[in-house]
Amino acid sequence: MSAGSDAAAVDLSVEIAGVVFPTPVMTASGCAAAGRELAPFLDVAGLGAVVTKSVLLDARSGRPTPRMVETPSGMLNSIGLQGPGIDAFLAHDLPWLVQRGARAVVSIAGGSLGEYAELGRRVGSSPGVAAVEVNISCPNVEERGLVFACDPFQAGRAVGAARRGIPREVPVLAKLSPDVTDIVSVAKSVLEAGATGLSLVNTTLGLALDPHTLRPVLAGVTGGLSGPAIRPVALRCVWQVHAAMPEVPIVGIGGIRTGLDALEFLAAGATAVQVGTVTFHDPSAPERVAHELRAELATRGICSPRDVVGVAHREPG
Ligand code: DHB
């Protein structure tokens, strides 16, 4: 394809661990529950995938309010994994996505290895799951010691526990935290434990103070920072992991708002991307970002997102 080609000539499909997605743009977990609330704004079946809010074994009401606050370039949240629990999710939410022809990437989160194992079994035996995202990096837990992704050994154990119940043909994406010294060592550990790809990255731990009271705004004190503020951090994580393991599928996440942002993540080494925080003020953003990415590729005469994965690592010329 030559420079300035027709956008219609671009084939946006990508493959992650043997599963084909029609576009590389997915929703990000936690920003639209199980996807129903996006349906008035976009065609869920046209997205790369809908990544559902991390589900736990039991229903949970989450942390006390206030649990969301805007900061100058991002959003800080401390939801506390509110959700219906795995039974209600499998009975109502997953079938809704499957009936509409959407690809469901189901995010699971546990508080113990046993919970990850049980969630892996339950989700792994449910038809219609395109992939499982194992969230081992939720920042909103009582103790930092419970953030499995902050320790390579614990990260591998949690992903290994979930993986055992999931059929081989279903990709398992481990979602890692940027709040570590060496993300490559965590990535290696979860891949050895059976992850077939990586979601990079989850929110980073932050704090907002009320300017009047000088007390924390969030009832949970700290929260996960997302949005444009973390985009360079996420891009750096994708870059580092791709440089170390160029064959591993990476889904890039962090402050992506435009097709050009998405293209940068592909160039750094991601095969696909997720769009999250921007959906709070532009709920059609995941669809728009895919259209914009198509135009960005066409302008550059590139036929497929597969052709730009990792190009930022190549010597010019
Ligand atoms: C929550 C979970 C996350 O993984 C995250 O990054 C931010 C918030 C939560 O439900 O609290």
Q: Is the pLDDT of residue 220 over 70?
A: yes
> Which whole number is the average pLDDT over 44-67?
97
204: CA distance to ligand 1 center in Å?
10
30: CA distance to ligand 1 center in Å?
7
Residue 255 to residue 285: CA distance in whole angstroms: 12
Which tokens is 105 given? 């990437």
Residue 121 to residue 141: CA distance in whole angstroms: 23
* CATH pick for 7-311 out of 3.50.50.60, 3.40.50.360, 3.20.20.70, 3.30.70.100: 3.20.20.70
Given a contact cutoff of 8 angstroms between Cβ atoms, the answer to whether 272 and 14 are in contact is yes
Q: Is 30 in the pocket of ligand 1 (CB under 6 A)?
A: yes
Closest-CA residue to 95 (of 176, 142, 149, 34): 34
Q: Which residue has the tokens 């989700």?
A: 123
Across 130-144, 169-183, 208-222, 250-264, least confident range: 130-144
From the candidates 138, 150, 237, 303, give the one annotated as an active-site residue: 138
Residue 274 to residue 126: CA distance in whole angstroms: 23
pTM score above 0.95? yes
Q: In sequence order, what E strands does the chain have?
A: 14-16, 19-21, 25-27, 50-51, 68-71, 74-77, 104-108, 129-135, 172-176, 197-200, 204-207, 222-226, 250-253, 272-275
Write the CB contacts of 163 (distance below 8 Å, at least 6 apart in sequence): 120, 134, 172, 193, 194, 195
- CA-nearest residue for atom 3, ligand 1, is 138
Q: Is 224 in the pocket of ligand 1 (CB under 6 A)?
A: yes
Q: Is the pLDDT of residue 33 over 60?
A: yes
Q: Which atom from ligand 1 is nearest to the alpha carbon of 138?
A: 4
Contacts for 36-44: CB closer than 8 Å, 24+ residues apart = 36/93, 36/96, 37/283, 38/279, 38/283, 38/286, 39/100, 40/283, 41/283, 41/284, 41/287, 42/283, 42/284, 42/286, 42/287, 43/287, 44/97, 44/100, 44/101, 44/102
Distances (CA, A) of 43 to 16, 123, 298: 22, 24, 23
Q: Is 126 in the pocket of ligand 1 (CB under 6 A)?
A: no
Distances (CA, A) of 40 to 24, 28, 83, 289: 21, 18, 21, 17
- CA-nearest residue for atom 6, ligand 1, is 203
Which tokens is 122 given? 């339950």
At residue 213, the pLDDT reads 98
Q: In this prediction, what percent of the chain has a pLDDT beyond 90? A: 94
At residue 146, the pLDDT reads 83
At residue 1, the pLDDT reads 47
Write the CB contacts of 212 (distance below 8 Å, at least 6 apart in sequence): none
Interval 10-25: pLDDT, tens: 999 999 999 999 999 9
Q: Is 107 in the pocket of ligand 1 (CB under 6 A)?
A: no
Q: Is 203 in the pocket of ligand 1 (CB under 6 A)?
A: yes
At residue 2, the pLDDT reads 53
Q: Please give the residue that has the higher pLDDT: either 275 or 315.
A: 275
Q: Is the pLDDT of residue 259 over 70?
A: yes
Q: Where along the chain do its domains lie? A: 7-311
At residue 308, the pLDDT reads 98
Question: What's the sign of the alpha-carbon dihedral 188, 246, 17, 286?
Answer: positive
> Which whole number is the average pLDDT over 246-262?
98
Interval 107-147: pLDDT, tens: 999 999 999 999 999 999 999 999 999 999 999 887 777 89
Residue 45 to residue 136: CA distance in whole angstroms: 27
- CA-nearest residue for atom 10, ligand 1, is 81
Per-residue pLDDT band for 3 (boundaries 50, 70, 90) equals: low
